[in-house]
Amino acid sequence: MVQQSRHHDSGTASSDKSNWWFKFLAWREAHIPEKTFVALLALIVGVAAGLAAVLLKTLIALIAGWLTSRFIVEHGNLLYLVFPAIGILLASLYVYYIAREPISHGVTRVLYSLALKKSRLKIHNMYSSLIASSVTIGFGGSVGAEGPIVFTGAAIGSNLGQAFRLTPQTLAMLVACGAAAGIAGIFKAPIAGMLFTIEVLMLDLTAGAAIPLIVASVAGATVAYVFTGYNVEFFFTQSEPFYAHRIPYVVMLGVFCGFVSLYFINLIDRIEARFKRLRNRWVRFAVGGLTLSVLIFLMPPLYGEGFDGITRLISGDVTGIFNNSLFYSYRDNTVAVLLFLFALGAFKVFATAATNGGGGVGGTFAPSLFVGCMAGVFFSYLVNHLGFIDLDTPLSIKNFALMGMAGVMAGVMHAPLMAIFLTAEMTGGYELFLPLLIVSGSSYAISRIFTPYGIYSRRLAKRGELLTHQKDRSVLTLLKMDSVIEKDFSVVHPDMSLKDMVDTIAQSHRNLFPVTDDSGKLVGVVQLDDIRNIMFRPDLYRRMQVNRFMAIPPAKVIVGTPMEKVMKTFDDTGAWNLPVVDEEGHYVGFVSKSKIFNSYRQVLKHYTYD
């Protein structure tokens, strides 16, 4: 009796709490306008994502500083062979035993949640990426913190919206706010945070969405400024002015960055695909850990995000990239500098793919910035020393390092505006706005010619699960075939007589009839209009069978086909109804244009935030 009483009291307390929350939700709905409430939530999301960004950066700096503070600058350090592998191991153990689901490729997972999960992310996503990525990067994993912080910010927005029982379109808005605030906080770049949601997350945002995004981005950046100071992420001073006669070289750099971007995207995909083929996770860890450790031992600037190397190069200290390496004594040799810059840019991609493939957690923002910086410095250094330009007025290595960062990021992510503003905001290099625009535009154009999608979106695009700025395509992505298949059709068979066919028509409310064989495979269709002239001739009832007047459908749709491809099939055939079959050809049902159009209107209304 005592246990029952306690159980009853516990249930009552839980019920009281639930009732209190629902009463609060009802009060909020009655007294606070929706747009005002969303703006308030955007502020909360922005502050929380900004705090998460500060925490992540602090953890990475503490771990990396503690591990490498005693390293000697003048020669290689054997611990580079140990630390990165330990970081991948710890991160992979955390993901496998605690998070218990993959959390790498955070930006792609946010895109997936927007497309197929109604913007719903799990509670542990608000902190799991922070833990795993701080260990991965702090111990030397050659990835960035930006993907994890985007995932974290998006999860904060999603879970806060779910707590207040908000609609899917408002949830998507808060997910975008969290992602924007994460970028704004990690880079102190509020404009870039907003542009990230538009160009990378590819949300078709209306004017009503601008205010929450601005609020969240500014809040995230402000929190970062309060806790880490008002300095920019990378200190940059433009000691050499930019001249108009340098524009041809800027254009050439943009083209070069475009091809570097293609190298980056394609190689990441191929290497990670190779890792996925390794079924045993310990084998993946061994291959990834060994590859990463060896690369960092040979080229220490690959350690972690690589921001130390970027800082040195945009300040003009080219020889500083040789610190802690086996090649320190070659730092004044021009050929050695060129080879080292080339190797750093080329092998950063291998190091990034090995980190994620081996079990680490991190993003590709920072690697693309690192590769871009190496590309810009390599290009300017090469031009200056090949005699193509007067050495009395050489190309500015600092300026071209900055341009290269913007160029490769624009090509890799297919986000030229974000690349321009992010580079300007995190360095203060606004004086180079024109060349940044030229390089980013040129690189993006080259990359777009050869691949229609950036590095984050191409994984989903291959599976037909990507939302885009084109509303028609986005809504068709959100539509799933299971929701539009109609199955209330009367099935007939080839050996049925016309009399049996007429009896079936009398009992059906449809004018279309699938014809299947004994195994259930679709062999044809019968349309009422096609037999109207013979269905009232009793003399043919026993003489004529269905196989005489059935027709082959203009096309068949296989279950699971993306809706965009289904609509293309409708356009190509001019049909109004198409049969649906499984992989073996067994009849499943029909899809019709009218059903798809009705569902289209519902989804469009459901997911558009005004």
**What pLDDT, on the 0 to 100 scale, is given for residue 472?**
46
Rounded to the nearest integer, the mean pLDDT of the chain is: 84
Question: Which pLDDT tens digit goes with each residue over 71-80?
Answer: 776 666 788 8
428 backbone φψ class: left, alpha, beta (φ>0; ψ -120 to 50): left
Which helix (H) or strand (E) segment is 472 a member of?
helix 471-478
**What pLDDT, on the 0 to 100 scale, is given for residue 460?**
64
Q: 467 versus 306: which is more confidently predicted?
A: 306
Strand, coil or helix: 586 = strand
Q: Give the integer Cα–Cα distance in Å for 93 and 88.
A: 9
Pure H helices in 122-246: 128-138, 146-163, 168-187, 190-199, 210-228
Does residue 344 contact residue 374 with C-beta atoms inside 8 Å? yes
Which segments within 426-584 are labelled E, that is strand? 512-516, 522-527, 557-558, 577-581
Pure H helices in 322-364: 334-357
In this prediction the pTM is: 0.77
Residue 33: pLDDT above 60?
yes
Q: 475 versus 165: which is more confidently predicted?
A: 165
Question: In this structure, what token pair is assigned to residue 423?
Answer: 């580079």
Which helix (H) or strand (E) segment is 590 a member of?
strand 587-592
Q: Looking at residues 93-105, what average pLDDT do you find?
A: 86
**Alpha carbon of 457 to those of 182, 243, 439, 499: distances in Å?**
19, 37, 22, 55
Which helix (H) or strand (E) segment is 587 a member of?
strand 587-592
Q: What is the largest CA-CA distance in the chain?
A: 102
Q: How many CB atoms lie within 10 A of CB 605?
A: 10
Q: Give the integer Cα–Cα distance in Å for 427 and 232.
A: 6
Q: 56 versus 22: which is more confidently predicted?
A: 56
Q: Give the integer Cα–Cα distance in Å for 409 and 206.
A: 26
Residue 476's pLDDT band (boundaries 50, 70, 90)? very low
Q: Looking at residues 92-105, what average pLDDT do you find?
A: 87
Residue 345: pLDDT above 80?
yes
Question: Which pLDDT tens digit goes with each residue over 113-162?
Answer: 776 667 788 888 899 999 999 999 999 999 988 889 999 999 999 999 88
Q: Is 234 exposed, middle or buried (0-12, 13-18, 19+ CB in 10 A)?
A: buried
Residue 206: pLDDT above 60?
yes
